[in-house]
Amino acid sequence: MDTHPPPTNQERRHRLEYKARWMAVLPAAVVAAVAAEVAVWGAYLLFTDASAYSRAFIQSGVGAYAFLLAGMEAAPNHKKFAGLALTLLFTLFGGLMLIVGFVQQTSSAEILGKNLPRIVMIWLAYALLRKQSRY
């Protein structure tokens, strides 16, 4: 026999918001990363004549940081766990891109130049965000 009263509308809304925030973690992270990388690309296009590799390196860092920051902010709780899960997912995806590049016989410099900085930067971003007190 259930002795608990039925949930109130406020409790239902809170549960729905909680689940929605967890479902929004990955989409928020992806949108933030893409927006950050496009912004860096646009800034480089407008304001500098830097090499493609330096732009790609900075894009990787900014995109990785934005990916983690947005994902961790979207998570309703367990932000460190969410950050670690996003970091591992990002690393897995980057490793998969390395494998796909080698299978397609793309040049090693191009594969490593595009994917390795992203993998390194996501771990640096995770370490930086983890040291902040709110995460």
Domain ranges of the chain: 9-131
Q: Are 73 and 24 in contact (CB under 8 A)?
A: no
> For residue 124, how many other CB atoms are within 10 A of its CB?
12
User: How high is the pLDDT of residue 23?
Assistant: 95
User: How high is the pLDDT of residue 11?
Assistant: 86
Measured distance CA(93)–CA(87) in Å, rounded:
10
Q: How confident is the model over 86-113, as pLDDT tens digits?
A: 999 999 988 888 888 778 777 777 777 7
Question: Which residues contact residue 107 at a Cβ distance below 8 angstroms, ignoring those fewer than 6 apart?
Answer: none
Q: What does the pLDDT average to over 4-28?
A: 88
Q: What average pLDDT is seen over the chain?
A: 85
Question: Which residues contact residue 105 at a Cβ distance below 8 angstroms, ignoring those fewer than 6 apart?
Answer: none
Q: How confident is the model over 33-92, as pLDDT tens digits?
A: 999 989 988 888 887 777 766 777 788 889 999 999 999 999 999 999 999 999 999 999
User: How high is the pLDDT of residue 73?
Assistant: 93
Q: What does the pLDDT average to over 4-18?
A: 85
User: How high is the pLDDT of residue 112?
Assistant: 73
**pTM of the full structure:** 0.80
Instruction: Please say if the pLDDT value at position 10 is more than 90.
Output: no
